[in-house]
């Protein structure tokens, strides 16, 4: 049997996938302190089934996962695989190459594989039993292990010699067989207790069966007596039935007489019911008329109350309108007086304008006739033009005032018409 390779991914300091190939002969792993030589041995122990985190120099099993560095993120899984070749005879398998794999996650979940097939940790232990390969076998001798073996108890040293002698598997099988025998003996004890309990219950069941048989016999007698009693009751009921039939014949004649009397009374009752229905219909009509009159009265009273309220509101509105009309008439008189004054001013301006135009015509005539006095006439003409422009400006202002006064007058007349229409309404 030959250890061919060791493959590590995310195990302690081996963050990337690392494969160590072991060629036939002597193979050594050398390097300075802290380079990871002990991590290789820990990987071998771990993949062979080591369950103690302290033996792997950690506090818990998740410590074997690469925890990251400043330049590389931490991983969430660690995996180690170990491949053996030429191991058919030593391992007792049909394969010439055996690959065992162990995988652990940060949540504590572990997985085991043999040739990429899921298996149990127990299967790996049984596979390498008596081969000298194992987490505590003599094939792995770390520093201080020989001194520990020599100073340990004879029982601890015996385990190493038994592993070398190849009897560990048989002892494990013997231990498993003894455990199964103990389990079987415990089952036999339970079966014996069950048998005793069943035997104890058999007597009770026999007594219950005897009671059941007596109950069945008594029930047969009871059914026989019940049959005779039923026959006797049947005969008595037949005799009573004949008597009842005779009584029914006599009762039938009386029933017919009573039915004829009932029919006559029902005819009279029907006449009374028809008359009562007519009276009830008349009474209903009278009640409807009364209710209608009451509704009309209530409606009229409501309308009267509403009209009274409206009258009060109308009186108040008329009073307000009268006051507004008086105010509007006062404003209208003021505006009319203002319009009269404006008309007078316009007339004066027009007179002045006509006078200015006449003076301008006379000046133009004098200019045409007396050209030698041009300088004096032009000076006079310029003065007259300035006066004319001033008069025209005053005329335009008066025209604007007249337009505004006309607008106000029209608005006041419209407001007055609305107030008069409201007063008339």
What are the DSSP calls for 178-202, one per residue? Answer: HHHHHHHHHHHHHHHHHHHHHHHHH
Rounded CA separation 265/262 (Å): 5
Output phi, psi for 92, to 5 deg: 70, 40
- pLDDT at res. 373: 62
pTM for the structure as a whole: 0.39
The number of beta carbons lying within 10 Å of the beta carbon of residue 103 is 17
- pLDDT at res. 136: 56
- pLDDT at res. 350: 72
Rounded CA separation 324/420 (Å): 10
Rounded CA separation 175/164 (Å): 19
Rounded CA separation 181/184 (Å): 5
Q: What is the DSSP string of 126-164?
A: HHTTTTT-STTSTT---TTHHHHHHHS-HHHHHHHHHHH
Indicate the helix (H) or strand (E) that contains 2. strand 2-9
Beta-bridge partner residues of 112: 102, 119
- pLDDT at res. 108: 82
Angstrom distances, CA of residue 162 to CA of 16, 123, 248, 352, 384: 39, 20, 113, 152, 151
Based on DSSP, count helices (H) and strands (E) in the chain, helices before strands. Answer: 7, 6
Q: E strands of 155-313, at which residues?
A: none
Q: What is the DSSP string of 72-108?
A: SPPPSEEEEEEEEES-HHHHT-S-SEEEEEEEEETTS
- pLDDT at res. 8: 92
Angstrom distances, CA of residue 380 to CA of 69, 112, 255, 351: 112, 131, 149, 21
- The angle, 0 to 180 degrees and rounded to 10, between the axes of the packed helices 154-165 and 168-369 is 90
> Residue 384 burial (CB < 10 Å; 0-12/13-18/19+)?
middle
Whether 44 contacts 28, CB under 8 Å: no
The token pair that represents 33 in the structure block: 């302190």
Q: What is the mean pLDDT of each run of 10 residues along the chain (425 residues)?
A: 87 89 79 82 85 80 87 90 84 83 90 91 78 59 56 63 57 76 87 84 82 87 86 85 80 79 77 76 76 77 75 72 72 74 73 73 67 66 72 74 76 78 72
């Amino acid at each position: 049997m030959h250890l061919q390779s060791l493959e590590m991914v995310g195990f302690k300091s081996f963050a990337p996938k690392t494969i160590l190939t072991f060629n036939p002969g002597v193979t050594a792993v050398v390097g300075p302190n802290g380079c990871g030589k002990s991590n290789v041995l820990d990987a071998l122990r771990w993949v062979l089934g080591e369950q103690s985190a302290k033996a792997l120099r950690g506090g818990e099993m998740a410590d074997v996962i690469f925890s990251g560095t400043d330049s590389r993120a931490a991983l969430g899984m660690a995996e180690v695989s170990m491949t053996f070749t030429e191991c058919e005879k030593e391992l007792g398998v049909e394969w010439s190459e055996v690959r065992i794999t162990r995988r652990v996650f940060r949540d504590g979940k572990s997985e085991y594989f043999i040739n990429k097939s899921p298996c149990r940790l127990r299967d790996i232990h049984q596979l390498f039993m008596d081969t000298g390969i194992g987490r505590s076998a003599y094939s792995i001798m770390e520093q201080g292990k020989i001194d520990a073996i020599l100073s340990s108890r004879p029982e601890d040293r015996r385990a190493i010699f038994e592993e070398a002698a190849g009897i560990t598997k048989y002892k494990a099988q013997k231990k498993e067989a003894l455990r199964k025998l103990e389990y079987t003996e415990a089952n036999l004890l339970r079966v014996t207790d069950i048998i005793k309990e069943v035997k104890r219950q058999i007597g009770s069941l026999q007594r219950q069966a005897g009671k059941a048989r007596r109950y069945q016999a008594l029930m047969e007698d009871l059914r026989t007596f019940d049959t005779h009693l039923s026959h006797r009751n049947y005969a008595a009921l037949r005799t009573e039935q004949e008597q009842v039939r005779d009584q029914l014949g006599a009762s039938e004649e009386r029933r017919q007489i009573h039915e004829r009397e009932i029919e006559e009374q029902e005819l009279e009752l029907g006449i009374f019911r028809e008359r009562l229905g007519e009276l009830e219909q008349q009474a209903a009509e009278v009640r409807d008329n009364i209710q209608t009159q009451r509704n009309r009265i209530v409606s009229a009273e409501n309308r009267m109350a509403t009209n009274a309220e409206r009258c009060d509101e109308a009186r108040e509105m008329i009073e307000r309108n009268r006051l507004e009309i008086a105010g509007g008439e006062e404003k209208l008189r003021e505006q009319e007086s203002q319009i009269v004054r404006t008309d007078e001013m316009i007339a004066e301006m027009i007179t002045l304008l006509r006078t200015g135009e006449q003076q301008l015509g006379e000046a133009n005539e004098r200019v045409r006739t007396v050209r030698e006095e041009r300088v004096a006439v032009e000076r006079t003409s310029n003065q007259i033009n300035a006066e004319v422009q001033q008069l025209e400006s005053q005329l335009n202002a008066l025209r604007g005032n007249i337009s505004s006064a006309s607008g106000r007058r029209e608005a006041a007349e419209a407001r007055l018409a609305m107030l008069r229409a409201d007063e008339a309404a």
